[in-house]
Structure 1
Amino acid sequence: MSVFTPAESLHRLVKHAIDSGAAESITQAEAMFRGYRLNIDIGASAASDPVHQAALLTAVAVGRRVFLGGVTVTGDLAVPLSALAPLGPNLAAAVAALGGKPGCFTQGAPEIAIGGVVEERRNGFRIRTAAAGWRGGVLPSYSPLSPEPGPAMPIAGMLSGALAVNEAFLSVSGGAPAAGRRVLGLSLWQPDAAIDWLKADPAEPVLTYLPSNLWLLGLGHLGQAYLWGLSLLPYRDPAKVSLVLQDIDIITPSTESTSILTDATMVGLKKTRAMAAWTERRGFATTIHERLFDADFACQPSEPAIALCGLDNASGRRALDQVGFKMVIEAGLGRGHRDFRTMRLHTLPGPRQAAEIWKGTAAKENVEEQRAYAQLLARGTLDRCGVTLLAGKAVGAPFVGAVAGALAISEVLRHLHGGPVHQLIDLDLLSLEHRITSRHRHDFGDFNPGFVPAR
């Protein structure tokens, strides 16, 4: 039986309350999060829509990792599930499998309506998700605005569900006074800040081609978000999809707090084995690699040409454009209590080599002097080394990884549909409207990415 250290066990978003000083002890921080509850509802028309189903299931999956007091779901949950077969035959089974609970709303808890209609303004936090075409976001429930129609794209639902949980957490944690009263979203076809996500985009294509061969590097926070997004896509024949899953780590108790496909029953398992089992239940074929990714690795011509990178170390990232992949979409997330909502995506190879982009090691916040860590040291719960290890762990939130995952999967989908590829996407969920994007000079049309038809 494995014994895990506090650094391997602490909930990564509970750590935000400790590092920011909002809680004076781990016990107080955990109690704070157990007091957070979330209400979600879905109407009959939205419940039968695959895009709104993606929003609901994403909101439940990430929400129950944030609102530890529970996520309550109401609505027409007897509707058959359009994707994510491992979760059961209908929405009710899927919600339960993801940790949600059907029942009456918890009074005073923030509320998320999936899709839905314009409502009268009322007290309390209530927002609605909105997705149309390749565009997704959230609005106050009373807002008269709605995105103009477009071709169905489930990843837009994934995006809206993740953004909704971000807003709800901002509301309970006091991170932004405007949370729940602002309109925010983006286009996954044109993620530029200048693009109005509420406006129809005639360039948005019908989702016709889906990736069939991908290599996933790292199967934690980001890697599982990638798998979640892929599982939402409307594959006609999932058996024709082949995924290579690479990681060396085991699942620890803290993994569940950020990683959307992990639950407590998986603790102690290799991430590769647990994720392969989940992915194969979705119908995909998998190959696992349990070795460290570095420059000594070489991608063979018969292997996937596109990699989705979820590595959290600079040494691995420096090798990304040296091993033979034709295209790599890499996402990096902020680590500290101030910047954990930030993300930066790169598509490689690019004008700058990976070794230059990640030539240094990012500076870490020094939070060891916060009272919670001082108490652990003073009481002898941890020695100085243990405190340093715990304090050095990243703050993380599953809704951040889900947004990054939606952006990364969309880069692949956009490429398959002849759209532009982005060299860089840089954004902060606190100020989504100030995101930065840079289009790639290379069109990546010189290789076969591998694709299969959508339903």
Structure 2
Amino acid sequence: MTLTRQLSRIAKLLVDAEGIGFPEAEARLRAMTLDIVVGPDAANPAGHAAALTALAVSRRTFLGGVRVIGGLGQPLQSSLSTRATLDEALAEIGVNGFPGPAAATIGIGKAAARDHICACWDGWRAGVRSGARVALGTSNNPLAGIAAGAHAVGAAFQGLRGRTDLPADIDLWPGDGDIPDFGQVFLPSAVWLFGLGNLGQAFLWSLAALPYADGVDRALVLQDYDRVREENWGTSILVPDDRFGDLKTKMAEAWAEARGFRVARIDRALRTDLRRANDEPHLVLSGLDKIAPRRLLADVGFDTIIDVGLGRTARDFDRYRVNVFDKTRTIDAHFDGVVDPAPRPAAPDLPAYAKLEAEIGRCGAAEIGNASVAVPYVSAIAAAVATARAIAICSGQPCSPGEVQKVSASERRAAAASCPIEAPGVGHAGRAGVPHIATAPALPAAVR
């Protein structure tokens, strides 16, 4: 069987964790099917962000197909799409139906709760519940919806792998003390994104979900040198189904401009000569996956750097780390003496890689063996956490400088105590406004 490159980094999770072969891993992924049930009480910014995110990440993990059913003719209450109704926005992402019952079901909204996993949210908090335990709170925060929708997909995916304990809630607000309502915070006006892989695209997804007021200028600088490859499809939320070879920055630019952002591109790697111009963003969201370029960020001239890292192996693939750096706590000092793991000269000593080596050669098998395991629901959650930190900084609020969490954990680790972040040049684009709410005749009640 020829390895399907689009699935390689997800299939690798099952291969490395369970010692099965790549053909069996792909067959299991293709047998995974999911129903997403949307209740009428999901007609709010958090609920629609949850539904759209759940579809966007699950269709790259549940390869047998994803159906979205329920009250989908609702006028869209999300800035993630310019479509008029929820079902139009879902169809824009892409739905792949399947015959027969689903292997797993998740609900969006309390009315969708039965005996399956449901996404839930309350202000800056996101979680999953089962059955009658579902309760929804304040629903005006799209970041909580993003985290909740991705969280539910992750719980369903882990459930099909035999891990049935529900994970703990995720607290998005990064500070101590009083937690502001989402309508009281300020949104970032200008952000520089380094790396447009799975994390960088998830950053864009969270930023696009923020309800900027009409006519407010919001600017992005997108920097990456890489092109979209087949193996990016299974891990990255914006990669199209059948178009590879474009620059990642070019693909991301088109998507962001369609959602109202003013975009500048830098289509090269981060080098020692890069310096920020006076009119360029002071705030960075970094999704770089190597240590050396992270250290280089210290000399570019940014006020604030929010750096996110993900796990790489079958044991820690759903771990994420979020760190905040400023002039007093610098990224180069934090990573001083830290090195990336050295690549192995050969593939892991597992039967699956021996068979793969015979099929695609030693170098190809070693490349797959050294690649990181990645699933898109983890990136979506980590990006929502990082974007919440950007909002806190733009709002002049204290912020935790560091946090490490595992999505599937039954208890959350305490984040570092919050502290003031020195960000004199980081501007904001005003308070969160009313999300995109379209009015249109009701459309059919399901997308198949």
Which structure exhibits the higher relative contact order, with contacts defined as CA atoms closer than 8 Å and separated by 6 or more residues?
2
Say if 2:441 is the partner of 1:444: no
1:394-443: CA deviations, max 9, x gaps?
Answer: 10000000010000000011122332212101001121523231135443
Residues 287-322 of structure 1 show CA distances to partners (whole Å, capped at 9, x for unaligned) of 000111133211112110001001111111111222
Q: Matches of 1:141 and 1:435 in 2, distance apart?
A: 26
Q: Could you give the per-residue CA deviations for residues 40-74 of structure 1, whole angstroms, max 9, x where no partner exists? A: 1111231x212100000000000111000011111
Give the corresponding residue for 1:15: 12
User: For the residues of structure 1 that align with 2:143 and 2:261, how far apart are their CA atoms?
Assistant: 18
In the superposition, relative to structure 1, how do residues 183 and 371 fare at CA in structure 2: closer, same or farther (>3 Å)?
closer
Which segment drifts farther, 183-192 or 89-98? 183-192
**Following superposition of structure 1 onto structure 2, how do residues 148-159 of structure 1 map, counting pairs within 5 Å?**
149-150=137-138, 152-159=140-147
For 1:282, what is the secondary structure of its paired residue?
coil
The answer as to whether partners of 1:140 and 1:183 remain within 8 angstroms in 2 is no
2:16 partner letter: D
Q: 1:337 touches 1:395 (CA, 8 Å); kept in 2?
A: yes
Q: Which amino acid aligns with 1:398?
A: P
| Distance in 2 separating the partners of 1:296 and 1:355 | 19
Q: Residues 139 and 184 of structure 1 are in contact (CA less than 8 Å); yes or no, is this contact kept in structure 2?
A: no
Q: Alpha carbons of 1:41 and 1:353: their partners in 2 closer, same or farther (altered >3 Å)?
A: closer
Work out which of the residue numbers 92, 109, 115 in structure 1 matches 2:109.
115
Give the CA deviation at 1:6: 6.5
Question: Whole-Å Cα distance in 2 between the matches of residues 10 and 202 of structure 1?
Answer: 40
- Equivalent residue, structure 2, for 1:293: 270
Separation in 1, partners of 2:412, 2:41: 33
Deviations 1:332-391 (A, max 9, x none): 0001111111111111135354254253324379762111110122x3x22222221111
Aligned with 2:132: secondary structure? coil
Relative distance call for 1:255 and 1:239 in structure 2 (3 A) is farther
Letter in 2 for 1:170: Q
Please give the residue correspondences for 1:20-419 in structure 2 after superposition, counting only pairs within 5 Å.
20-24=17-21, 26-46=22-42, 48-84=43-79, 86=81, 88-101=83-96, 106-117=100-111, 122=115, 126-143=116-133, 146=135, 149-150=137-138, 152-174=140-162, 176-178=163-165, 182=166, 184-190=168-174, 203-237=180-214, 240-349=217-326, 350-351=328-329, 353-357=331-335, 359-363=337-341, 368-377=348-357, 379=358, 381-419=359-397
Measured against aligned partners, the alpha-carbon deviations of 1:222-250 in whole angstroms (never above 9, x if no partner) come to: 00000000111111136611111000000
List gaps (5 residues or longer) in structure 2.
434-448
- Aligned equivalents of 2:232, 2:195: Cα separation in 1: 13
Q: CA deviation at 1:127?
A: 1.1
Could you say what secondary structure the match of 2:41 adopts?
A: helix
Indicate the percent of aligned positions where both proteins have the same amino acid.
Answer: 33
Q: CA deviation at 1:217?
A: 0.5
Q: 1:207 to 1:7 in 2, by over 3 A?
A: farther
Letter in 2 for 1:63: S
Which whole-Å CA distance do the structure 2 matches of 1:432 and 1:360 have between them?
30
Q: Secondary structure, in 3 states, of the residue corresponding to 2:268?
A: coil
Tell me the distance in 1 between the aligned counterparts of 2:395 and 2:23: 50
- Contact residue 168 and residue 412 of structure 2 kept, 8 A: no
In structure 1, what residue type is equivalent to 2:128?
A: V
Specify the alignment match of 1:198 in structure 2.
none
CA RMSD of aligned residues (A): 2.5
- Using the alignment, how far apart are the partners of 1:358 and 1:34 within structure 2? 43
Give the AA of the match of 1:374: A
Cα displacement string for residues 178-201 of structure 1 (whole angstroms, at most 9, x for unaligned residues) = 2xxx36212212478xx9xxxxx6
Displacement after TM superposition at 1:283 (Å): 1.5
Q: Is the 8 A contact 2:121 2:145 kept in 1?
A: yes
List alignment gaps of at least 5 residues for structure 1: 196-200
Amino acid at match of 2:41: S
TM-score by length of 2: 0.89
Asked if the contact 2:167/2:410 (under 8 Å) is kept, the reply is: no
Displacement of 1:259 in angstroms is 0.8
Q: Distance in 1 between matches of 2:186 and 2:179?
A: 18
Deviates more, 1:340-349 or 1:6-15: 6-15
How far the C-alpha of 1:27 sits from its partner, in A, is: 2.0
Amino acid at match of 1:294: R
Q: Distance in 2 between matches of 1:309 and 1:223?
A: 7
- DSSP 3-state at the match of 1:164: helix
Conserved? CA contact 1:215–1:307, under 8 Å: yes
Distance in 1 between residues matched to 2:283 and 2:296, nearest whole Å: 15
Shift of 1:210: 1.4
Measure the CA separation in 2 of the matches of 1:188 and 1:159: 9
Provide the rounded CA distance (Å) in 2 between the counterparts of 1:364 and 1:340.
18
Cα offset, 1:202, TM superposition: 5.6
**Structure 1 267/119 Cα, relative in aligned 2: closer, same or farther at 3 Å?**
closer
Give the whole-Å Cα distance in 2 for the aligned partners of 1:339 and 1:202: 30
- What amino acid is aligned across from residue 296 of structure 1 in structure 2? D
Q: Report the Cα distance in structure 2 between the residues aligned to 1:183 and 1:387, rounded to whole angstroms.
A: 34
Residues 113-165 of structure 1 deviation map (CA, whole Å, 9 limit, x = unaligned): 10114856x5xxx111111211111111222x635x44721100001011101
